[in-house]
């Protein structure tokens, strides 16, 4: 059932539109006439949102080439010129409102370069390293700019940027990270319900939880003390729809946190859902020997699949139910499907949910039939990005008639990467080198390994752990996130190699070639 504002399309009509939609996406040629037949059906009761939907569909149809045989391609050179201008010539005045997001702007630009297959020269890499390090707070963490208060979100962007341009050694950025101060900063933000303030006296937000877990994983400072209670918080953010909201309402009685009721705050949202699912994967190594908590993955999948727009929405994703599609959700929603294998869901041949007309019994397992079909239409998503999200002069955007920006450029390209490539968890391909140990020291002396000064033993982060328990925990964390590899036989690049972008790691949104060296360094692995 498709709903726009208060206008409803009957399920039979919706199925017919879906079949037309799949037909229109089965070719590299865009048929404007066919897509125009797939407009949201007018029911005679116009609302502000239904009119807005029609205007957006009009803009989509107008943006498509009038000649059905004309095939659009990725405007690689235009995007590179757009990004280079942002990085080297500075940002225009409309970016002034993002003064507290300087690490994010840098990350968006550099990761876009990475997806497009471009690396910075050593001189510009060092400039970026120095710029990012200038944003590190003396007590730990990174601010949104020099001398700004530390904040979890720009800390994540700063560490991701250093993963792209940094290196071990003096001046390389990695050894200059104040890991002990960062860990203490994170602990200072922890709340009794397992959530985190994003900064001192700031709000609670599941995006902060994701950023904290991602950074702690990358830098080998993720401890049992830090994650205590976090799974319960993440789980409590799941809404009745199946997606996740930003936070939940914690209730206390006589100083004790009540496990129930703990209602989510707000509606399901693509960005929050992405952060929640990735957080769930980061937390998995801490469940060994304990009762495994759970989230309703089936309900999540159901919600995710319903966010892709069919018909004249051209396969774009929306971030919330009944909202307009937006190119950035190509990553925030589309990227969620790439996380499902780490949650035990085999998405390359999966059960597909069969809707009832009233959707009343969606928890009934009998409704799931084995059908070999993608959970989302990756071909249609590539069309949305290539035909509608590219600005003519470079950069990518929300949708036609919107201006490009660094944020939408990255998350459209990341969504394109997810649609083209299948990066999946794989079995460990090397033995774990215990930390600390005589073998590691011997390997260092023989110059087989770099000299590592970044083991968390020296930081004394969690004294409650024994040395053996600490090493076992680090091994589980490292193995969970390091061993992901592109399954090249499953790649689906629509339009040929000219449209290809690099594969990105679904947990970090960094290329594997950037995240693996940082993980190897901080975990002391070759």
Tokens of 485: 């590899």
Which listed residue (179, 207, 269, 470) is catalytic?
269
462 counts as catalytic = no
Q: How far apart are CA 136 and CA 125, in angstroms?
A: 17
Q: How far apart are CA 163 and CA 504, in angstroms?
A: 13
SS3 76: helix
151 counts as catalytic = no
Strand partners, 396: 390
Which listed residue (156, 329, 384, 482) is catalytic?
329
Which listed residue (306, 323, 399, 514) is catalytic?
323
Cα three-residue angle 450-155-428, rounded to 5 degrees: 45
Q: How far apart are CA 300 and CA 264, in angstroms?
A: 15
326 counts as catalytic = yes
Tokens of 195: 């959530």
Strand partners, 257: 252
List of residues 6+ apart from 241 with CB closer than 8 A: 267, 268, 299, 303, 321
Which listed residue (211, 275, 328, 336) is catalytic?
328
329 counts as catalytic = yes
Residue 408 near residue 328, CB atoms below 8 Å: yes
Tokens of 338: 């790439």
Residue 227's nearest CA partner among 218, 237, 216 is 216
Which listed residue (193, 205, 326, 456) is catalytic?
326
Q: What Å distances lie between residue 47 and 11, 44, 143, 300, CA to CA?
A: 21, 10, 43, 29
323 counts as catalytic = yes
| H or E segment to which residue 484 belongs | strand 484-486
DSSP states of 436-474: S-HHHHHHHHTTSS------HHHHT--TTS-HHHHHHHH
Q: Is the dihedral of CA 118, 416, 422, 218 positive or negative?
A: positive
Strand partners, 486: 423
Question: Which residue shows structure tokens 């200059």?
Answer: 176
Q: How far apart are CA 100 and CA 385, in angstroms?
A: 29
CB atoms near residue 117 (< 10 Å): 12
398 counts as catalytic = yes
Which listed residue (205, 398, 456, 471) is catalytic?
398
320 counts as catalytic = yes
Tokens of 32: 């404007």
Which listed residue (151, 320, 399, 494) is catalytic?
320
Which listed residue (318, 408, 421, 494) is catalytic?
408
232 counts as catalytic = no
3-state secondary structure labels for all residues of 245-287: CCEECCCEECCEECCCCCCEECCCEHHHHHHHHHHHHHHHHHC
Residue 203 near residue 155, CB atoms below 8 Å: no
DSSP states of 344-358: T--TTS-EEE---TT
Which listed residue (193, 205, 383, 405) is catalytic?
405
Catalytic residues: 269, 320, 323, 326, 328-329, 398, 405, 408
């Amino acid at each position: 059932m498709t709903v726009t504002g208060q206008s409803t399309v009957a399920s039979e009509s919706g199925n017919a539109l879906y079949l037309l939609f799949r037909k229109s996406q089965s070719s590299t040629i865009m048929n404007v006439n066919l897509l125009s037949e797939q407009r949201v059906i007018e029911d005679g009761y116009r609302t502000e949102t239904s009119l807005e939907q029609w205007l957006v569909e009009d803009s989509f149809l107008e943006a498509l080439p009038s000649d059905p045989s004309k095939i659009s391609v990725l405007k690689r050179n235009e995007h590179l010129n757009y990004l280079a201008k942002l990085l080297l010539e500075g940002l225009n005045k409309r970016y002034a409102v993002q003064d507290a997001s300087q690490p994010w702007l840098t990350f968006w630009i550099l990761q876009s370069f990475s997806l497009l297959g471009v690396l910075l020269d050593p001189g510009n890499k060092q400039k970026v390293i120095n710029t990012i390090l200038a944003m590190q707070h003396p007590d730990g963490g990174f601010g949104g700019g020099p001398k700004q208060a530390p904040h979890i979100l720009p800390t994540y962007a700063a560490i991701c940027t250093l993963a792209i341009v940094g290196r071990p050694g003096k001046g390389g950025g990695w050894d200059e990270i104040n890991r002990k101060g960062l860990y203490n900063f994170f602990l200072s933000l922890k709340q009794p319900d397992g959530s985190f303030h994003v900064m001192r006296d700031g709000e609670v937000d599941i995006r902060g939880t994701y950023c904290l877990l991602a950074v702690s994983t990358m830098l080998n400072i993720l401890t049992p003390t830090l994650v205590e209670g976090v799974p319960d918080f993440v789980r409590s953010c799941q809404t009745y729809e199946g997606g996740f909201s930003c936070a939940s309402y914690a209730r206390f009685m006589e100083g004790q946190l009540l496990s129930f009721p703990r209602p989510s705050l707000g509606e399901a949202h693509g960005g929050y859902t992405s952060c929640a699912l990735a957080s769930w994967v980061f937390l998995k190594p801490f469940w060994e020997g304990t009762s495994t908590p759970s989230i309703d993955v089936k309900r999540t999948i159901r919600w995710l699949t319903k966010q892709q727009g069919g018909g004249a929405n051209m396969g774009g994703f929306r971030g919330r139910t009944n909202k307009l599609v937006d190119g950035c959700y190509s990553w925030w929603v589309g990227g969620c499907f790439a996380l499902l294998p780490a949650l035990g869901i085999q998405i390359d041949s999966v059960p597909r949910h069969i809707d009832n007309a009233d959707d009343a019994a969606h928890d009934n397992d009998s409704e799931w039939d084995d059908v070999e079909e993608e959970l989302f239409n990756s071909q249609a998503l590539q069309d949305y990005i290539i035909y509608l999200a590219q600005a003519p002069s470079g950069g990518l955007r929300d949708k036609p008639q919107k201006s490009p920006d660094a944020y939408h450029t990255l998350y459209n390209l990341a969504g394109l990467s997810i649609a083209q490539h299948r990066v999946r968890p794989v079995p460990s391909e090397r033995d774990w080198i215990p930390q600390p140990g005589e073998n590691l020291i011997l390997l260092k002396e023989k110059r087989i390994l770099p000299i590592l000064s970044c083991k968390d033993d020296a930081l004394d982060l969690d004294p409650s752990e024994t040395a053996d328990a600490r090493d076992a925990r680090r091994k589980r964390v490292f193995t969970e996130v390091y061993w992901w590899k592109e399954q090249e036989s499953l790649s689906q690049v629509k339009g040929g190699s000219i449209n290809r972008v690099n594969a990105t790691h679904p947990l970090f949104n960094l290329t594997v070639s950037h995240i693996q060296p940082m993980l190897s360094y901080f975990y002391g692995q070759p």
